[in-house]
Amino acid sequence: IYKQQRRCKCRIRSSGINAESQSVLFSFLLVVADNDMTLILRVGPYICAEWNFGGLPPWLLGIPRMEVRSQNTAFLDRVNKWLSIFLPNLKSFLYKNGGPIIMVQVENEYGSFGCDHGYINTLHDMFKKYLGKLIP
């Protein structure tokens, strides 16, 4: 069976935010690419009920009138700040760019939390802004 070799031309730019955690993630992504594997990346902002506060930073609760996982301006401003730094680093790791990421999951288990379609649409728009059109 012939298997086409994909060459990952992945690159990382310094963001200054939690560089150690990002380094671990990007090292993992390079290992995945080097071994011709693919992956689905769960970016969030909420990633999993099994993590404390779903992976959201607990300091969000200290912000007055904060409503997480909603169209709350204070929440979305912080989500956008995070995504504007993190997502551009993922672009070269996308499968369409020769990387191993075949899908990026936006939010997780939202149906059991709420039904704010505007929130999900806003997240979708943010991801498209920083990653580009994901589906050809």
Give me the tens of pLDDT residue by residue for the chain, a chain 136 residues long.
334 455 566 555 554 455 555 678 888 999 999 999 999 998 889 888 788 888 899 999 999 999 999 999 999 999 999 999 889 988 889 998 889 999 999 998 887 777 888 999 999 999 999 998 765 4
| Nearby residues of 43 by Cβ (< 8 Å), 6 or more positions away | 83, 86, 87, 90, 104, 105, 106, 127
Using DSSP's 3-state secondary structure scheme, residue 5 falls into coil
- List own/partner pairs for 30-37 with CB under 8 A and 24 or more apart: 32/100, 33/6, 33/8, 33/93, 33/99, 33/100, 34/8, 36/3, 36/5, 36/6, 37/100
Stated pTM of the model? 0.80
